[in-house]
């Protein structure tokens, strides 16, 4: 995603004349003639260069302003400021060491300096991973029981598994080795036959660690031959009234006839901590600003006393305008 581009172009054209002017009637006339000639050379250059540059930069819809000036960084956006001035022999006379007869080609010229300033602001996507600590404590829980093969006759031992899950989906499992009382005999075809899941709430917010070592009572009654339904109830002592007599009956496999009550301590195999680190992937959009300035120059040399561009010089100016436009497109 890219925000609008800011673009400004500054073109400064300066015409020069050599110190020599053979037919001048006076020193003042010589200076004046060179002033006029240098201005004509600058204007001639400007006419060709402006039209060529406007054509090359047409896609940017720049507004061209002539012979105006702006303080640094105050030029209006999407404008091309182009100005021309003649310096006569003021600069060339100094370079020629005051030699009024010097007519070298280097002094018969027009110079252009093009300064392009471009600023872009882009919103670049960055993938980040958010992390936070989430509490596994809860007041809302789910429990189910898995009964293994056992034999109970009046009094004895019973072993069963128990699953706990909070409403956020965190889960733990443990075992209860209980003292059992009642009558009946059980044999299971599978290692564990899990009961239906019962929901309950605790008197206060607790974590898995609070269930570890808690006394549990399990009461079941049923007649099963092959596949049958057993009524069963589960109680967590010390967890509040809603955690008592939870209906955890369910379908089981095996052979069973029973009516018994078991009590023992719940020992969780793995106890999730009270807090867990959760994370998710997200995308941030960060604004990145890119500023750059380029400067390019060109000099065109005129015949003695001339201010008109030759075809080869006009072609050179057009090629320079193309170079400036290419510079904008590739940066």
Say how far apart CA 41 and CA 54 lie, in whole Å. Answer: 20
> Tokens representing 99?
């030699």
**pTM beyond 0.75:** no
**Any alpha helices (H) in the chain, and if so which ranges?**
27-56, 90-95, 208-211, 311-329
Q: What pLDDT does residue 109 have?
A: 96
| Mean pLDDT confidence for 276-294 | 79
Lowest mean pLDDT among 25-34, 97-106, 112-121, 154-163: 154-163
Using alpha carbons, list the distances in angstroms from residue 184 to 116, 175, 218, 269: 96, 22, 15, 29
* pLDDT exceeds cutoff 80 at 236: yes
pLDDT tens, residue by residue, 204-230: 999 999 999 999 998 876 554 445 566
Query: What is the helix, strand, coil percentage profile of the chain, to 5?
Result: 20, 50, 30
pLDDT band at residue 329 using 50, 70 and 90 as cut-offs: low
pLDDT tens, residue by residue, 51-74: 999 999 988 889 999 999 887 678
| Mean pLDDT confidence for 147-169 | 70
* pLDDT exceeds cutoff 90 at 120: no
Q: What pLDDT does residue 229 have?
A: 60
CA atoms within 13 A on the CB side of 263: 6
The position carrying tokens 């020629």 is 96
Q: What pLDDT does residue 281 have?
A: 86
Percent over 70 (pLDDT), the chain: 82
pLDDT tens, residue by residue, 306-328: 999 999 999 999 999 999 998 77
Say how far apart CA 211 and CA 137 lie, in whole Å. Answer: 11
Ranges of each domain in the chain: 6-125+285-329, 137-272
């Amino acid at each position: 995603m890219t925000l609008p581009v800011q673009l400004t172009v500054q073109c400064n054209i300066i015409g020069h004349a050599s110190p020599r002017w053979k037919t001048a009637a006076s020193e003042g006339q010589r200076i004046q003639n060179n002033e006029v000639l240098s201005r004509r050379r600058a204007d001639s250059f400007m006419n060709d260069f402006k039209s060529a540059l406007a054509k090359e930069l047409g896609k940017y819809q720049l507004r061209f302003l002539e012979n105006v000036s702006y303080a640094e960084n105050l030029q209006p956006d999407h404008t091309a400021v182009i100005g021309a001035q003649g310096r006569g022999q003021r600069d060339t006379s100094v370079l020629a060491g005051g030699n009024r007869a010097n007519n070298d080609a280097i002094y018969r010229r027009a110079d252009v300096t093009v300064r392009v300033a471009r600023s872009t602001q882009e919103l670049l996507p960055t993938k980040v991973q958010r992390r936070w600590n989430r509490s596994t404590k809860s007041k809302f829980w789910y429990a189910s029981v898995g009964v293994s093969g056992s034999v109970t006759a009046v009094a004895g031992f019973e072993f069963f598994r128990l699953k706990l899950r909070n409403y956020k989906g965190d889960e733990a499992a443990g075992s209860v080795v209980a003292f059992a009382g009642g009558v009946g005999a059980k044999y299971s075809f599978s290692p564990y036959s899990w009961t239906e899941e019962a929901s309950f709430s605790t008197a206060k917010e607790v974590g898995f660690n609070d269930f570890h070592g808690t006394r549990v009572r399990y009461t079941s009654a049923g007649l099963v031959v092959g596949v049958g339904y057993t009524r069963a109830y589960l109680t967590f002592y010390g967890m509040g009234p809603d955690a008592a007599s939870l209906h955890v009956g369910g379908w089981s496999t095996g052979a069973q006839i029973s009516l018994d009550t078991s009590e023992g301590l719940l020992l969780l195999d793995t106890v999730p901590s009270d807090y867990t680190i959760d994370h998710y992937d997200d995308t941030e959009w960060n604004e990145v600003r890119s500023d750059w300035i380029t400067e390019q120059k060109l000099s065109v040399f005129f015949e003695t006393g001339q201010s008109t561009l030759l075809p080869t010089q006009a072609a050179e100016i057009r090629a320079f305008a193309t170079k400036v436009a290419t510079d904008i497109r590739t940066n």
